[in-house]
Structure 1
């Protein structure tokens, strides 16, 4: 199976797993950590151009699991995290990873945050090395083994 197909299949599987847990994913920590991981994936290469920001924002608002939260609230939080990362990536990444770590208390939410990062990273069919690396860092922040997610 081609790499492209494996990435699409993995993202699809992750999305199905997330949808099965949708009713359990309603906390503020999950919401914030999810937007933080989305911003981290979007800025994984060190920058976020306006089209990439818009693409990720539309993926967020179209994600069934994230419909537990108001779309404009998610958009605002995502943009705040992206702004931190684009202002100073290294410093912003520390702040964003701290936000992600807040979901550590609930293992189901922590896993869902990583799954959302993978879904967002693989949505364009190219879950590249820099995106995988930041999702791996998010795993460490949440106390999850990256190999559990094939990272």
Structure 2
């Protein structure tokens, strides 16, 4: 089986796991951390081009778990995190990782945030090294071993 096929199966499995936990993922902390993760993955290479931003925004809108929250609220939060990362990537990344780290004491939410990062990162068919690295950093912010997610 090709590497991409294995990854695609893994991403589908993660999305299924997220859907199964949907009722447990309704807190404001999870909402904020997941939008921070989406912005971080979109900016993984250090910048966010408009097509990347639009692609991630449509993935957010189509994600069943994230439908627990009003779409306009998610969009506002995603755009705010993207703006912070675009203004100064290194400084913005510190703040975004702090937002992600706020769910570290809730293991279900913390793992779900990582799974969302992986699903979003791989949705274009290429979970590249920069995206993997940024999700790995988020694992550290949450106190989760990256190896748990093969990162």
TM-score (norm 2): 0.99
In structure 1, what is the Cα distance between the partners aligned to 2:7 and 2:53? 21
Whether 2:69 is the aligned partner of 1:69: answer yes
In structure 1, what is the Cα distance between the partners aligned to 2:45 and 2:13? 25
The total of aligned residue pairs comes to 151
User: What CA deviation, in whole Å up to 9, does each residue of 1:88-126 have, x standing for no partner?
Assistant: 110000000000001111100000000000000010110
CA RMSD of superposed structures (Å):
0.6
In structure 1, what is the Cα distance between the partners aligned to 2:133 and 2:82? 17
Alignment of 1:2-151 (within 5 A): 2-151=2-151
Give the superposition deviation at 1:19: 0.2
Give the superposition deviation at 1:7: 1.9
TM-score (norm 1): 0.99
In structure 1, what is the Cα distance between the partners aligned to 2:89 and 2:19? 31
